[in-house]
């Protein structure tokens, strides 16, 4: 079985969409989405600098747009047996699974990005990756500092989130056997600090036209396969202030018999985690359109 996955915030880099806009119809699609949500996705994906696209309100719609563009460029409908996304990538996954239309997904993620940006502005917060160490000991250490293990990514990676002061304390007092790397994100995502965004997203969710997923949709909340569109959307809302359990998503991939994973643009992060967490599963990250032929070959190999 093949699984299609979509990365979360932090995967974007300056100019990463430039080569994708050379594909037939891509520039027009992105321009249409830009007009619909009131955000110049073309400029942000091509000429904007790193600071501009780090803005949560920009990064989130940009990542979903990139994921949808690259997934459709594969031109292999029905090839995937499962889909999942990390954090905001869950919206990309929901659109690919048929739960939301593309335009609705972009509108929904625009609300999400703005709400989370506003929530992040209340208190100076952030996130740091903790690499290595015993998982239970790391979690206990973080909680002792008042931090939340916001992303349980598997493969020896946990992302801690909290206030600037708490993260500074973590840098000074690292868990035994672990490294700490500050992340370039603008808030403590997937923690109680994001609670104000949940209400706004819940209101937006009530206006959505929702369908049940047409393939296995694996949720960040608990790694479970979700079978109804209403449940998918409810989880998208609540996930904003709850930890991402990507480790459990990978466990479900293994249980489903996944043999290959393709990560949509800007790919790389989740493919890297899979190399450690899913040994034996082939991975391919879509970084530029030059990767499309390799992806199609991998699809053919695993659907023959």
pTM for the model stands at: 0.95
Query: What is the Cα–Cα distance from 74 to 12, expressed in whole angstroms?
Result: 20
Structure tokens at 82: 């499962």
Rounded average pLDDT over 175-197: 93
168 C-beta neighbours (distance < 10 Å), count: 14
Our measurement of the distance from residue 120's CA atom to the centroid of its chain's CA atoms, rounded to an integer in Å, reads 18
Q: Confidence band (pLDDT; 50, 70, 90) for 77?
A: confident
Query: What is the Cα–Cα distance from 40 to 21, expressed in whole angstroms?
Result: 14
Q: Is residue 76 scored above 90 in pLDDT?
A: no
Q: Is residue 213 scored above 80 in pLDDT?
A: yes
- Model pLDDT, residue 304: 65
Active site residue 302: no
Domain range list for the chain: 2-120+191-303, 125-182
Q: Confidence band (pLDDT; 50, 70, 90) for 250?
A: very high
- Model pLDDT, residue 185: 84
Q: Choose the catalytic residue: 34, 70, 86, 87.
A: 87
Q: Choose the catalytic residue: 70, 86, 107, 190.
A: 190
86 C-beta neighbours (distance < 10 Å), count: 26
Active site residue 241: no
- Under a CB-based contact definition with an 8 Å cutoff, are residues 18 and 62 in contact? no
Structure tokens at 286: 């879509």
- Model pLDDT, residue 288: 97
Rounded average pLDDT over 165-170: 97
Rounded average pLDDT over 52-69: 96
Render pLDDT for 288-303 as a digit per residue (tens, 0 to 9). 999 999 999 999 999 8
Task: Return the DSSP state at 235.
Answer: H
**Proportion of the chain in helix, strand, coil states, percent, rounded to 5:** 50, 15, 35
Q: What is the mean pLDDT of the chain?
A: 96
Query: What is the Cα–Cα distance from 37 to 44, expressed in whole angstroms?
Result: 14
| CATH superfamily, with its number, for domain 2-120+191-303 | Malonyl-Coenzyme A Acyl Carrier Protein, domain 2 (3.40.366.10)
140 C-beta neighbours (distance < 10 Å), count: 12
| CATH superfamily, with its number, for domain 125-182 | Malonyl-CoA ACP transacylase, ACP-binding (3.30.70.250)
The proportion of the chain whose per-residue pLDDT surpasses 90, expressed as a percent, equals 96
Query: What is the Cα–Cα distance from 197 to 111, expressed in whole angstroms?
Result: 9
Q: Confidence band (pLDDT; 50, 70, 90) for 26?
A: very high
Tokens 């600071």: give the residue.
51
Tokens 């973590």: give the residue.
170
Rounded average pLDDT over 33-58: 96
């Amino acid at each position: 079985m093949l699984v299609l996955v979509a990365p979360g915030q932090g995967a974007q880099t300056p100019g990463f969409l430039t080569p994708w806009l050379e594909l037939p119809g891509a520039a027009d699609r992105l321009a249409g989405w830009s007009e619909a949500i009131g955000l110049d996705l073309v400029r942000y994906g091509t000429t904007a600098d790193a600071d501009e696209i780090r803005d949560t309100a920009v990064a989130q719609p940009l990542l979903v747009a990139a994921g949808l563009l690259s997934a459709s460029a594969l031109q292999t409908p029905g090839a995937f047996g499962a889909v999942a996304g990390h954090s905001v990538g869950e919206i990309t996954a929901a659109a690919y699974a048929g739960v939301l239309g593309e335009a609705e997904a972009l509108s929904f993620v625009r609300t999400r990005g703005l709400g989370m940006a506003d929530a992040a502005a209340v208190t100076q917060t952030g996130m740091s990756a903790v690499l290595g160490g015993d998982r239970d000991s790391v979690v206990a250490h973080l909680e002792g500092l008042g931090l939340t293990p916001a992303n349980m990514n598997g493969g020896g990676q946990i992302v801690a989130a909290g206030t600037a002061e708490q993260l500074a304390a973590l840098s000074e007092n690292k868990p035994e056997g672990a490294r700490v790397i500050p992340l370039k994100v603008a808030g403590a995502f997937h923690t109680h600090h994001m609670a104000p965004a949940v209400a706004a997203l819940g209101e937006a969710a009530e206006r959505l036209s929702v369908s049940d997923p047409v393939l296995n949709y694996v949720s960040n909340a608990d790694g479970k396969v979700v079978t109804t569109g209403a449940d998918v959307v409810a989880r998208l809302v609540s996930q904003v202030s709850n930890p991402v359990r990507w480790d459990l998503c990978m466990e479900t991939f293994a249980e489903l018999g996944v043999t290959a994973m393709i990560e949509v643009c800007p790919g790389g992060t989740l493919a890297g985690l899979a190399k450690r967490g899913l040994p034996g599963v082939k991975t391919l990250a879509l970084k530029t359109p030059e990767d499309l032929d390799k992806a199609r070959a991998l699809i053919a190999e695993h659907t023959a």
